[in-house]
Amino acid sequence: MQTFTTVGYGHISPASLLTSSIAAAEAMCGILSLAVATGLIYGRFSRPTAHLVFSQNAIIGPFQAGQALMFRVANRRPNVLREIQVKLILMTVDPIDGVMKRRFLQLPLERDSLDVLPLTWTLVHPIDEKSPLHNRILEQLDAEQAELLVLVKAFDDTFSQTVHAQISYTTAELVWNARFTPAFSVNPQGEFVLDLARLNDYEAAPQS
C-alpha cells in the first residue's frame, strides 16, 4: 500500500530487479488509479445543473380576450441564467390505423425566450383557433392520455456552460378557470422579495 499510494515511508524497499519491477508497476498503477478517480469525481460534481423550480400545476384561465395555458418557473439559485429558451410539447396517444401511437405537437408560447431570467416567469400558451387545445375539454384530454412536456435550456453564467431542466404536467395537474397570484412582495426597504413557497398559489378566475 505504501508503494501503491506513493507514500514512501521507507520501511520497505525492493532489494532485487524483480521486486523493483513490481514496485514500479504498483507505483504506476497507483498514480493512474488516483488520476482516474479524481477525474471521475470532478466530472460528477463539477457538472452544472439548473436548479429551476416550476409551479406544481399548470392552469387554464382567462388571457386577454380568450383563454391560455399558463405555468410558472423561477431560479432557486442566486446565479444568473442567460439566453433561456423554453419548449412546450403536447403528448397524446391517438389511434392511427387501428394502432395506438404517441403524438407530439409543439405548442407555441407567447414568449419562448428571455435574455435573463427575472424573479418569476409565467409562460403562456394562448388557446386560440390554431391551438391543439382549442375547444378540448378535460374528458377529451384524459381519453388521449395527454401530457404537457416542458423543456428548458439556459446558459449558466457561473459555470459558463449550458444547463437543462424539464418537467411534465398530466391532466390531473391541470387547473381550470384559475389565475396565478403574485409570488413576490415588497419589503419595508422597497425591495422585491420572492417567496418560492407561493410559486404555485392561484385563485379562481372571475367569471366574465
Per-residue model confidence as pLDDT tens for the chain (208 residues): 777 777 777 777 888 999 889 888 888 888 888 889 888 887 776 666 778 999 999 999 999 888 999 999 999 888 888 999 999 999 999 877 778 888 999 999 999 999 998 778 999 999 999 999 988 888 889 889 999 999 999 998 877 888 899 999 999 999 999 999 988 888 888 888 888 899 999 999 886 5
**The predicted structure's pLDDT at residue 153:** 94
Residue 204's H or E segment, with its range, is strand 202-204
- Tally of domains in the chain: 2
Instruction: Assess contact for 162 and 155: CB atoms under 8 A.
Output: yes
Asked if 149 and 121 sit in the same domain, the reply is yes
Full residue range of the structural domain in which residue 25 is found: 1-47
Asked if 76 and 9 sit in the same domain, the reply is no
Asked if 112 and 189 sit in the same domain, the reply is yes
Query: Comparing C-alpha atoms, which of 23, 92, 86 is closest to residue 52?
Result: 86
**The predicted structure's pLDDT at residue 120:** 87
Main-chain dihedrals φ then ψ at residue 90, nearest 5 degrees = -95, 120
**The predicted structure's pLDDT at residue 126:** 95
Contacts of 95 (CB under 8 A, 6+ apart): 101
| HSE-up (13 A, CA, CB side) for residue 169 | 22
CATH number at 103 reads 2.60.40.1400
Total count of residues recorded for the chain:
208
Asked if 66 and 154 sit in the same domain, the reply is yes
- What grid cell was written down for 49? 445543473
**The predicted structure's pLDDT at residue 83:** 92
